[in-house]
Structure 1
Amino acid sequence: MKIAIYGREFHPSVIPYVRQLLDHLISRQAELWIYDSFHRFLTEQITCPHQFRTYHSREQLPEDTGFMLSLGGDGTMLAAVSIVGPSGIPVAGINFGRLGFLASINKGEIEDALDAILDGAYDIQQRALLSVVAGDTPLFDGNPFALNDITIFKYDSSAMITVQAHLNGELLNAYWADGIIVATPTGSTAYSLSCGGPIIMPGSGNFVITPISPHNLNVRPVVISNDFELDLEIESRTGKFLLSCDSKTETVSTDTRLKIKRAAFDINLIRLKNHSFFATLRNKLLWGIDARNY
């Protein structure tokens, strides 16, 4: 089986786990395709006796690639999703980071998890993405989509910005705030949650609009159907604002009008049989650990 591997530079303490992963995949006769910059980093850290193939973009991956392994935290996983794009290649994450909502496989269960995936003992979860368009202005090197969220944020520490938000042509609100977050159900446990947004189950068919430090305290997050289109106009004293798409950020002029809607494709995430959304919430958010609950 052909397996794509994506990763970034990591702490030396992770090296034994990466070596274990590569050795196990090789023992299972896997053909490994490693992201080129990550491959260069690996060759500086460990001895690679096998001639791995490398890639720089999804167009360079074989059409029959079985799945992609992301080695790192959730940020690495988001970058891997950006590379996979509309190809349909399933993605699994080995968590070498901290929280690990998306990269759900712990480094202590690498071999068992890999065997389960290689043997087909897993589920595929389709996750909706957001896309953003700024007229004729190209964004994010042609990959203007997000698995977690699209965020509009003020450019610097100066005054707040005003975001005029229209849903399907109707005015929703004029947000006077540091910015707003438009999050998918997958991203509802990320930045949106830290700003007071709700947790939304994947597959629920919704997005959430969460203001960042709004001036009016009665402005609250709004859950909307993912069939809606959101048009945004931004006013700022600096004449520009920051637009982020998961882990990517660009500076955009306030002359630019944004359109945010559901992307035309979904991402396939690999989930092991013993992993569930609610179990992840309990483990990562420490639900139920209060001794008074027992």
Structure 2
Amino acid sequence: MSPKFTRVALVGKYQDPVTGPIADSARELMAGIGAFLQQYGCSVTLERRTAELTELSQFEVADIDGIGARCELCVVVGGDGTMLGVGRQLARHGTPLIGINQGRLGFITDIALDDYPSVLPAMLAGAFEEDLRALLLGRVCRDGACVYEAVAMNDVVVNRGAASGMVELRVEVDGHFVANYRADGIIVATPTGSTAYSLSAGGPLLHPQLPGWALVPISPHTLSNRPIVLADPGEIAIEIVAGRDANASFDMQSLASLRHGDRIVVRRSEHQVRFLHPRGWSYFDTLREKLHWTRGGG
């Protein structure tokens, strides 16, 4: 089969250099996947940080913006965290991503490591399911000015400091007052992020095609403060009313030491992340496998 994608980027799971050099097995894995792609007629570009850590020199090297400009596809080897980081950065380029799971859960990196030789050829030839995922654009506004901005694929979280008590948060949607929440914090989750922190805080599962967000309080003081599913064209504003050492995180990209009166404004990003899955992929199959739901009899 001739490939639909001829210029393919390869990104590996980062490892902190402080913990020591990358394992030989990881280096061999990335070299093997790169050679496999070349066998199918693809030119391979290794992401710059991946190249530095693996010390592989047989492939072209580019940073993320270079990959977005020149590559038709990005293959990510790692866990969901790696996929989140790459997906956020490549969304503005429209580059599709395929995930090979080297992590534990693998909600969005759905090709098992042992299966890539049998699964990738058909996908490279154009047999795949495309899955578009919404992104959040979050801003921290202080005294009328934006002091921080980031995109998030999973969630924007506003919460209390590690050593402080509850925070009080005023929530507005499209300029309409919703409630003041006294809680450990609040989560604004995308459908992708509904299986992450939001789920552990009691939030609902949202199908990825659903145009909505989950607004989920974390350990609220008032038990009637329940999670709400909101339409995603809206704008959510969260204001710090009371509490010490509150912070905001955007897929774990953090801004600490928020002040009283700071507003965290969240809306839909103009960009989407493009995931490619093997033909026949089903979101419900993923949920059933990862959450250990029963198949039933018959």
TM-score, normalisation: structure 1: 0.89
CA distance in structure 2 between the partners assigned to 1:32 and 1:129 by the alignment: 28
Unmatched 5+ stretches in structure 1: none
1:123 to 2:129 alignment: yes
CA contact (8 A) 1:14 1:96 kept: no
The alpha-carbon deviation at position 14 of structure 1 amounts to 4.5
Match of 1:20 in 2: 32
Q: 2:51 touches 2:57 (CA, 8 Å); kept in 1?
A: no
Shift of residue 159 of structure 1? 0.8
**Counterpart for residue 18 of structure 2:** none
2:60 matched to 1:53?
yes
Task: String of CA shifts for 1:5-35, please: whole Å, max 9, x gaps.
Answer: 2221266554554333122012123222222
Report the 3-state secondary structure (helix = DSSP H, G, I; strand = E; otherwise coil) of the residue aligned with 1:102.
coil
Match of 2:294 among 276, 280, 288: 288
Runs of 4+ off more than 4 Å = 10-16
Q: Does 1:42 align with 2:47?
A: no
SS in structure 2 at match of 1:63: helix
State the one-letter code of the partner of 2:201: C
Query: Per-residue displacement from partner, 1:76-125 (whole Å, max 9, x unpaired)?
Result: 00111122031110011111000000111110111122212211110211
Partner of 1:41: helix, strand, or coil?
helix
> 8 Å contact 1:163–1:175 — kept in the other structure?
yes
Partner of 2:91: 85
1:160-195: CA deviation from partner (whole Å, max 9, x where unpaired) = 111100011111111111111100111111110111
1:75–1:247 Cα contact (<8 Å) kept: no
SS at match of 2:104: coil
Residues 1:156 and 1:129: Cα distance change in structure 2 (over 3 Å): same
Query: How large is the RMSD of aligned CA atoms in angstroms?
Result: 2.0
Equivalent positions of 1:1-294 (< 5 A) are 1-7=6-12, 8-9=14-15, 14-43=26-55, 48=56, 50=58, 52-58=59-65, 60-61=66-67, 63-135=69-141, 136-139=145-148, 144-238=150-244, 240-254=245-259, 255-288=261-294, 293=297
State the alpha-carbon separation in 1 of the partners of residues 191 and 75 from structure 2: 22
* Residue aligned with 1:82, SS: helix
1: CA distance, partners of 2:292 / 2:258? 41
Instruction: Tell me the distance in 2 between the aligned counterparts of 1:259 and 1:62.
Output: 28
Structure 2: unaligned runs, 5 residues or longer: 1-5, 16-21
Amino acid at match of 1:139: Y
- Does the CA contact (< 8 Å) of 2:47 and 2:67 recur in 1? no
In structure 2, C-alpha distance between the alignment counterparts of 1:139 and 1:111, rounded to whole Å: 42
Q: Return closer, same or farther for 1:281/1:259 CA change in 2, 3 Å cut-off.
A: same
CA distance in 2, matches of 1:195, 1:62: 35
Q: 1:157 offset after TM fit, Å?
A: 2.2
How far did 1:215 drift? Answer: 1.4
Does the 8 Å CA contact 2:168/2:243 hold for their aligned counterparts?
A: no
Q: Please list the CA deviations of residues 136-161 of structure 1 after superposition, one character each: whole Å capped at 9, or x if unmatched.
A: 33435xxx111111111112221111
Query: Partners of 2:7 and 2:36 in 1: how far apart?
Result: 14
The SS at the match of 1:263 is strand
Q: Does the CA contact (< 8 Å) of 2:160 and 2:246 recur in 1? A: yes
Percent identity over the alignment is 30
State the Cα distance separating 1:237 from its structure 2 match. Answer: 3.5
Aligned partners of 2:154 and 2:190 also within 8 Å: yes
Q: Is the 8 A contact 2:129 2:280 kept in 1?
A: no
